[in-house]
Amino acid sequence: MELTYPADAEEFRAEVRAWLEEHLPDGWFDEGFEMTPAERKAFNQGWTAQLHEGRWLCASWPEEYGGRGLPTMHAVVLAEEFHRAGAPMRADFFGDTLVGPTILQWGTDEQKREFIPKILSGEISWCQGFSEPDAGSDLAGLKTKAELDGDEWVINGQKIWTTQAGYADYIFVLARTDPDAPKHKGISYLLCPMKQPGIEVRPIKQIDASAEFYEVFFTDARCPKDNVVGGVNGGWKVAMTTLGFERGTSATTGYRRFEKELEGIVELAQRNGRAQDPKVRQGLAHAWSKVQIMKINGLRSLSSVLHDTKDKGVATLGATNKMFWSEYHRDVMELAMEIAGMPGQILTGNPQAEESVPGYGARRTNDEYPASVLQSAFFFSRSETIWGGTAQIQRNIVGERVLGLPKEPKPA
């Protein structure tokens, strides 16, 4: 395997690096750099605008819709440099990672012109209305329905676990538009405005007092007729595309947040003496090996995409990826809490600090339950084998679609 990048990609790397050095706050790269809560808040507020101005957000998107049309290799270099610098890249996960690329793939020209520039500028934020109380893993069993009334869809039903529904401007929502069709075939993918009387959101408060997701109730909610992505009753394939983006991760950067986090866990074990324990040492070595596997698999995927090898082995990597990293993370966070020992049970976070957990954005901490960065990561790791499709469902996909095993029996 050739592990160097082409010269033009390295030139681009220098350009990105120079931009970051110029625009990040003074001292950002210095050992022990810290910001006061007020400084961090100001930085977070201004940074998205700077990224937009520099045209770094979603830079691989086509130029006609405001992207830079970056080729794959350059997009990888861009992601690597932002990771190296520890600079935040994301404006709104649901917009720039899920619905944006989905609209680019399946949307009409009008939809692309309407929504893509607003996603890039951060003008509108999104939430994902897929799961329902009786339709999670069995998503195609969803019951929320939409009926056409003149120029609008009228939506009735309920969604649940809808992250950031409390402040999103739009929801990409799956609704049944043909109740008589087989269940996968009667679903449409609608882009529906959230701020309207027909939509009520209720936060779901969790045991740690955070409330990142919501129940969303639709009672004669209105959605423009033309906001259907992928055609009326064509929503299933579009939803699968969105889930593919949710489960995917950047080939050569996905492992980096785990690598950095593991360094911190090793340091903790060295500091508190647990690194002397053979079982802990073995656990850490095991974790390190898994991070190396993620790194090498990432390079394999990148190499396969660049050389268009269509290698069957690499195709299976995409399918196993979500299962692999989420289970790795759940296990390593359990190890981290074991290493932290009894002091790890004490809540030592500072909710005012507005620190972020690498890879997750805002930290799950608040005045009622001031969890530290490590504790926040531990809690969130419990959800990672669930959202975007559970680890068991990923195994079914690998078994049925990749290995060609018989389909699981369905209830009669």
Ligand X SMILES: Cc1cc2nc3c(=O)[nH]c(=O)nc-3n(C[C@H](O)[C@H](O)[C@H](O)COP(=O)(O)OP(=O)(O)OC[C@H]3O[C@@H](n4cnc5c(N)ncnc54)[C@H](O)[C@@H]3O)c2cc1C
Give me the residues that bind ligand X (CB under 6 A), please. Answer: 127-131, 136-137, 161-163, 213, 383, 386-387, 389-390, 392-393, 396
Q: How many CB atoms lie within 10 A of CB 171?
A: 28
Q: For residues 116 and 99, give the distance between their C-alpha atoms in angstroms, rounded to a whole number.
A: 9
Give me the least distance between CB of 359 and ligand X, in Å please.
14
- The β-bridge partners of 146 are 155
Give me the least distance between CB of 357 and ligand X, in Å please.
14
Q: Which is nearer to ligand X, 44 or 163 (CB)?
A: 163
Q: Which is nearer to ligand X, 163 or 320 (CB)?
A: 163
Structure tokens at 64: 């006609």
Q: Which residues contact 265 (CB under 8 A, 6 or more apart)?
A: 284, 287, 332, 335, 336, 339
Q: Which is nearer to ligand X, 213 or 328 (CB)?
A: 213
Q: Which is nearer to ligand X, 5 or 324 (CB)?
A: 324
Give me the least distance between CB of 386 and ligand X, in Å please.
4
Cα–Cα distances in angstroms (integers) from residue 383 to residues 149, 171, 337, 379, in the given order: 39, 21, 16, 8
Q: Which is nearer to ligand X, 280 or 393 (CB)?
A: 393
Active site residues: 246
φ and ψ of 94, to 5 deg: -70, -30
Q: Which is nearer to ligand X, 257 or 295 (CB)?
A: 257
Q: Which is nearer to ligand X, 70 or 393 (CB)?
A: 393
Give me the least distance between CB of 324 and ligand X, in Å please.
16
Give me the least distance between CB of 364 and ligand X, in Å please.
10
Give me the least distance between CB of 162 and ligand X, in Å please.
5
Residue appearing with tokens 């002091």: 343
What residue type is assigned to position 201 of the chain? V
- The β-bridge partners of 216 are 159, 201
User: 3-class SS at 313?
Assistant: helix
Give me the least distance between CB of 387 and ligand X, in Å please.
4
Q: Which helix (H) or strand (E) holds 111?
A: helix 109-121
Q: For residues 405 and 199, give the distance between their C-alpha atoms in angstroms, rounded to a whole number.
A: 42
Instruction: Give me the residue whose beta carbon is nearest to ligand X.
Output: 136
Cα–Cα distances in angstroms (integers) from residue 221 to residues 115, 134, 172, 191, 407, in the given order: 20, 21, 13, 12, 38
The b-or-e profile of 292-325 (16+ CB within 10 A means b, else e) is eebbebbebbbbbeeeeeeeeebeebbbebbbbb
- The β-bridge partners of 172 are 128, 191
